[in-house]
């Protein structure tokens, strides 16, 4: 057969064979006097030596409270300095950090805590319109009369310890700040002894996937998974201890805690949090004031920054690199990021939570044509193959499902062997569900999701191709294309379009723009002008919600 669609990331740089806690301590000594964490809205400016001291104080307190290696500790909070302390302190203490989505409500929180059996929960009082404490007391009213550290409740039976952020006190809960006092005699030595016993293949983090059907699954990641991924992501960006990375993406997701925090740790760069949640103006202000050299974001975030009315008032010349990931990047948006935001070395990362997350990444010197049309080359120490519906490897240039294998593949879904076996086959390949093409030079293009591919009258249509074309219309700010049921053709195309401010065009204008430029069967039958798209807190578009909305609006079955 022609050259097969199989690539592997050969590398002279070995994988890191240490658990995160030991690596963290070494890195903090190596970069002791360098800036580590900058959180302007909390007045936090810590060097790596100061970060290490805070982390070890928290780790010693968690052990003193009776938490045992391997137990799960949930964190339900927006971005802040406490989040990063919890990330590294739990790793130092041999605990498993469980990331709770800040958008979760009562039922989702109850499910997550019980699914993995959290023994402790670190919680913010609230975020945006969510009152977290109120939701917790509603689920566990017994805590109001409980003893801190020895809680019990009918609906959250595994949780015995709740640690709240902020200066106020809450019944049954301990205060986070109280756990940052100096360790007692012998506790530091005991912490170091414990760190010698932790293995790099031990679980260190559980992240719940935002799946479109059924209950979320807890992707269980090891020290080896995420520490190495953070390192090699930073290598591709050429991060150094002179860099300052602005991190407006959520820490509860791999983008923030791995591609952000761990990438910085492994190279001595500074982590900079501009705000508790994404705020384009805060990003602009922080990049200028802190002279950030790198910036992370999903495409919708970059669009929000570029289109902010005060964009031209800020000096972003310090920017050099960063990552755009989370969903496919429109070509025009990438060009504006490079030209208008000075991010000439910005990289694209492709991956998923279950692969820690990165599998492909462009380099800082990837040619522009490749950077705007592909997700780069396979990561070091990672294998990828593209297969057809029967599992056979397809030739280069053909479309199929992307499978990946290597150090980055998760340990499995917590407490769900059946779902794990569905995702990871007997040969160790993670089935991503993404449609992709690998060209003769090894560059990968993500075409779409297997489930998002539209089959119209026997023609396979990839929404990404149509989205890229519609982005060229000067009035279009953002666009998403989906398939909806059709009695005659099986499926028809529907485009949701967000217009630029002060722009007014019609459905016929869009269709006229398409005619003669793309095949007739790729011209959307349905066009919906919208103000926003349904999306997860990490900026991923939820196309299944768009499909459901259109089926209801149009009275379609199937």
Give 324-348 as a DSSP string. E-SSPPPHHHHHHHHHHS--TEEEE
Q: State the DSSP H helix or E strand holding residue 377, giving kind and residue range, or none if neither.
A: strand 377-378
Q: Residues near 231 by Cβ (< 8 Å), separated by ≥ 6?
A: 16, 262, 263, 266, 267
CB 538 within 8 A of CB 250: yes
Q: Is residue 29 part of a domain?
A: no
Asked if 277 and 321 sit in the same domain, the reply is yes
In a domain, residue 211? The reply is no
The more confident residue out of 466 and 407 is: 407
Average pLDDT over residues 408-422: 97
Classify residue 205: in a domain, yes or no.
Answer: no
- Domain assignment of residue 330, yes or no: yes
pLDDT band of 558, cuts 50, 70, 90: low
Residues 265 and 407 occupy one common structural domain = yes
Same domain for 99 and 175? yes
User: Is residue 72 located within the same domain as residue 160?
Assistant: yes
Of the two residues 343 and 462, the one the predictor is more confident about is 343
Q: Mark whether 443 and 476 lie in a shared domain.
A: no
In this structure, is residue 208 part of a structural domain? no
Residues 387, 511 within the same domain: no
The pLDDT value recorded for residue 212 is 43
Lowest-pLDDT choice from 343-352, 371-380, 452-461:
452-461
Q: Which letter, b or e, does each residue of 238-261 get, where b requires 16 or more Cβ atoms within 10 Å of its Cβ?
A: bbeeebbbbbbbbbbbbbbbbbbb
pLDDT in tens, 331-341: 788 889 999 99
Same-domain pairing of 293 and 359: yes
Q: CB count, 10 Å around CB of 64? A: 14
CA distance 199 to 20: 9
pLDDT tier at 538, thresholds 50, 70, 90:
low
Region 378-404 average pLDDT: 97
Phi-psi region of 173 (alpha: psi -120 to 50; beta: other; left: phi over 0): beta
The arithmetic mean of pLDDT across residues 211-229, rounded, is: 85
Q: What are phi and psi of 475, to 5 degrees?
A: -90, -10
Query: 438 with 485, same domain?
Result: no
Q: What is the CATH number of the domain that holds 108?
A: 3.40.50.980
Per-residue pLDDT, averaged over 168-174, amounts to: 97
**What pLDDT score does 110 carry?**
93
Looking at residue 412, which CATH number applies to its domain? 3.40.50.12780
Residue 322's nearest CA partner among 371, 356, 282 is: 371
The predicted pLDDT at position 54 comes to 98
Q: How far apart are CA 160 and CA 140, in angstroms?
A: 11
Burial class (CB in 10 A: 0-12, 13-18, 19+), 557: exposed
Residues 6+ apart with CB under 8 A from 531: 498
**pLDDT band per the 50, 70, 90 thresholds, residue 551:** very high
357 and 232 co-located in one domain: yes
Q: Is residue 23 part of a domain?
A: no
In a shared domain, residues 351 and 226: yes
Select from 357, 255, 299, 334 the least CA-distant residue to 479: 299
In this structure, what DSSP letter does residue 362 have? Answer: -
Which whole number is the average pLDDT over 500-522? 91
Please say which residue of 410, 430, 449 terminates a domain: 449
Q: Which H, E and C letters describe 20-83, residue by residue?
A: HHHHHHHHHHHCCCCEEEEEHHHCEEEEHHHHHHHHHHHHHHHHHCCCCCCCEEEEECCCCHHH
Query: Of 449, 470, 490, which marks where a domain is finished?
Result: 449
The model's pLDDT over 8-40, given as tens digits with 9 standing for 90+, comes to: 999 999 999 999 999 999 999 999 999 999 999
The pLDDT of residue 108: 87
Which tokens is 91 given?
Answer: 């790793």
Q: Is the pLDDT of residue 5 over 50?
A: yes
- 466 prior amide bond cis, ω within 30: no
Q: pLDDT confidence of 210, banded at 50, 70, 90?
A: low
CATH of the domain at 489: 3.30.300.30
The C-alpha atoms of residue 174 and residue 163 are separated, in whole angstroms, by: 5
Kindly state whether residue 72 falls inside one of the protein's structural domains: yes
Query: Per-residue pLDDT averaged across 76-102, rounded?
Result: 97
Residue 416 lies in a domain: yes
Res 213 pLDDT > 70: no
What range defines the domain where residue 428 resides?
6-14+216-449
Task: Report residue 203: phi and psi, to 5°.
Answer: -65, 145
Asked whether the predicted pLDDT for residue 218 surpasses 90, the reply is: yes
246 lies in the same domain as 289: yes
Tally the domains of the chain.
Answer: 3
- pLDDT for 231 beyond 80: yes
Question: In this predicted structure, which of 240-244, 340-344, 393-397, 480-484 has the lowest mean pLDDT?
Answer: 480-484
Residues 383 and 520 in one domain: no
Domain closes at, from 407, 429, 449: 449
**Distance separating alpha carbons of residues 487 and 105, to the nearest angstrom:** 38
Give the pLDDT score at 447.
84
């Amino acid at each position: 057969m022609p050259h097969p669609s199989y690539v592997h990331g050969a590398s002279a740089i070995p994988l890191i064979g240490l658990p995160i806690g030991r690596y963290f301590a070494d890195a903090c000594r190596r970069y002791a006097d360098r800036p580590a964490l900058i959180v302007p809205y909390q007045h936090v400016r810590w060097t790596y030596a100061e970060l290490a001291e805070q982390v070890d104080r928290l780790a010693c307190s968690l052990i003193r409270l009776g938490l045992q290696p391997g137990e799960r500790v949930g964190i339900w909070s927006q971005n802040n300095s406490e989040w990063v302390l919890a990330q590294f302190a739990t790793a130092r203490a041999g605990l498993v950090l469980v990331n709770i989505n800040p958008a979760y409500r009562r039922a989702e929180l109850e499910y997550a805590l019980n699914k993995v059996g959290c023994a402790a929960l670190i919680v913010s009082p609230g975020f945006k319109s969510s009152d977290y404490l109120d939701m917790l007391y509603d689920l566990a009213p017994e805590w109001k009369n409980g003893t801190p550290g020895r809680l019990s409740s009918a609906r959250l039976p595994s949780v015995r310890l709740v640690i709240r952020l902020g200066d106020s006190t809450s019944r049954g809960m301990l205060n986070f700040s109280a756990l940052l006092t100096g360790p007692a005699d012998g506790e530091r030595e005991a912490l170091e002894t414990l760190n010698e016993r932790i293995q790099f293949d031990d679980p260190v983090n559980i992240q719940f996937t935002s799946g479109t059907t059924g209950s979320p699954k807890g992707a269980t990641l090891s020290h080896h998974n995420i520490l190495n991924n953070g390192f090699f992501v930073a290598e591709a960006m050429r991060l150094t201890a002179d860099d300052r990375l602005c991190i407006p993406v959520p820490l509860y997701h791999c983008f923030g805690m791995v591609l952000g925090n761990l990438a910085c740790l492994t190279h001595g760069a500074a982590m900079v949090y501009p705000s508790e949640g994404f705020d384009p103006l805060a990003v602009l202000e922080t990049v200028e004031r802190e002279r950030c050299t790198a910036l992370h974001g999903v495409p919708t975030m970059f669009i929000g920054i570029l289109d902010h009315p005060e964009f031209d008032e800020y000096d972003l010349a310090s920017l050099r690199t960063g990552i755009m990931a989370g969903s496919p990047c429109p070509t025009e948006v990438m060009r504006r990021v490079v030209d208008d935001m000075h991010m000439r070395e910005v990289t694209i990362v492709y991956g998923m939570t279950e692969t820690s997350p990165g599998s492909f990444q462009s380099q800082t010197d990837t040619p522009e044509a490749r950077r705007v049309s592909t997700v780069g080359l396979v990561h070091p120490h990672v294998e990828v193959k593209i297969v057809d519906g029967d599992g056979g490897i397809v030739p280069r240039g053909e479309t199929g499902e992307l499978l990946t294998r290597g150090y980055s593949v998760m340990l499995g879904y917590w407490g769900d062997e059946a779902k794990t076996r569905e995702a990871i086959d007997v040969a160790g390949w993670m089935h991503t569900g993404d449609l992709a093409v690998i060209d003769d030079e090894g560059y990968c293009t993500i075409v779409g999701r297997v489930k998002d591919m539209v089959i119209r009258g026997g023609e396979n249509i990839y929404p990404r191709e149509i989205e890229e074309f519609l982005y060229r219309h000067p009035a279009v700010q953002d666009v998403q294309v989906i398939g909806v049921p059709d009695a005659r053709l099986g499926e028809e195309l529907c485009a949701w379009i967000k217009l630029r401010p002060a722009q007014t065009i019609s459905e016929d204008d869009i269709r006229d723009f398409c005619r003669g430029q793309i095949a007739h069967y790729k011209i959307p039958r349905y066009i919906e002008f919208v103000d926003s798209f349904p999306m997860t807190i990490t900026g991923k578009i939820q196309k299944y919600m768009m499909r459901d909305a259109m089926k209801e609006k149009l009275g379609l079955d199937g």
